[in-house]
């Protein structure tokens, strides 16, 4: 009986199937609606949440962030299965999603709230993001303007921003900006 209890305790503490637990990545590449619609389609991605990060304002609202008053950028927080994709793969893909050389933001949305930004969750992610940025920099004639910092706090955006592209297919921004971006990347329109 004692051996059974020990075995059951061990199994309860061991990760399911011996797999590594899901990890998170936080990235900003302009309007979070488009970034969310892109990353939701990548292999190994479990969940993508639109939100705000990179600024000092606590509990920011969309109105505050979109006005550029908080220091935050529109970002997505990606939960992924490291057995199916890596943090480095997600960051390497990041460079394909936007023009990271424009310090004004990501077309057609300009301002600090739409800046290109990678927010690392730990030192290992920071190291991998730096290596990816250096490699991406060699492929551009202009310097990359992406901000690379440690994540301090992620604030999920309001509910109506989540899965925006999928839930609002006739919205003009979705039709004119998000869908062409998905088409260019060879991804499906939700």
User: Which amino acids are annotated catalytic?
Assistant: 31
Nearest to 110 by CA among 140, 66, 163: 66
Taking each helix axis as running N to C, give the angle between helix 123-137 and helix 87-94, from 0 to 180 degrees, rounded to the nearest 10.
40
Q: How many CB atoms lie within 10 A of CB 147?
A: 15
Q: Six-digit token pair at 61?
A: 């609202």
Q: Six-digit token pair at 98?
A: 């936007």
Nearest to 21 by CA among 82, 90, 76: 82
């Amino acid at each position: 009986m004692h051996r059974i209890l020990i075995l059951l305790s061990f199994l309860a503490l061991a990760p399911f199937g011996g797999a590594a637990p899901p990890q998170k990545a936080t990235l900003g590449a302009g309007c979070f609606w488009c970034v969310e619609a892109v990353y939701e389609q990548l292999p190994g991605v479990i969940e993508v949440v639109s939100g705000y990060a990179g600024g000092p304002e606590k509990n920011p609202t969309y109105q505050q962030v979109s006005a550029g008053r908080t220091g935050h950028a529109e970002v997505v927080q990606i939960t992924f299965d490291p057995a199916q994709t890596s943090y480095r793969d997600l960051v390497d893909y990041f460079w394909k999603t936007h023009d990271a050389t424009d310090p004004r933001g990501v077309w057609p949305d300009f301002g600090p709230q739409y800046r290109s930004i990678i927010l690392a969750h730990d030192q290992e992610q920071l190291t991998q993001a730096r290596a990816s940025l250096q490699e991406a920099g060699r492929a551009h004639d202009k310097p990359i303007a992406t901000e690379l910092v440690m994540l301090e706090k992620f604030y999920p955006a309001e509910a109506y921003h989540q899965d925006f592209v999928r839930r609002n297919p006739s919205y003009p921004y979705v039709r004119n900006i998000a869908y062409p971006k998905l088409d260019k990347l060879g991804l499906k329109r939700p």
